[in-house]
Amino acid sequence: MPDNSLISQLGTLDQHALWASCLWGAIASGYWIYGMKQRSLVSFLGGLVMMIASFMLGALMMSLTCIGAMFAVWWLLRQGY
């Protein structure tokens, strides 16, 4: 039986990774929807990056990546992009 990497990754999720994924996925979807409605490319791409990070990374790396993406979106919008 072949070892599918996605199935093996999902099998190693613990409760912390699930809660972090739920939290960062909800925040990312808010950024994504805001970016779509306001036609802001920075917010749209920031939400997209956070959604991908909440699916692909572990709990700690996911949190650090999402916090970094939120800071980057804030900084870019503050600069006028």
What are the residue boundaries of the structural domains of the chain, listed by start? Answer: 31-81
pTM greater than the 0.85 cutoff:
no
Residue type at 65 in one-letter notation: T
Contact 60, 41 (CB under 8 A): no
pLDDT at residue 13, as a whole number: 64
pLDDT per position as a tens digit, 51-80: 887 777 777 777 788 888 888 888 988 888
Render pLDDT for 1-43 as a digit per residue (tens, 0 to 9).
455 555 555 555 677 777 877 888 888 888 888 888 988 888 8
48 CB-side CA count, 13 A? 8
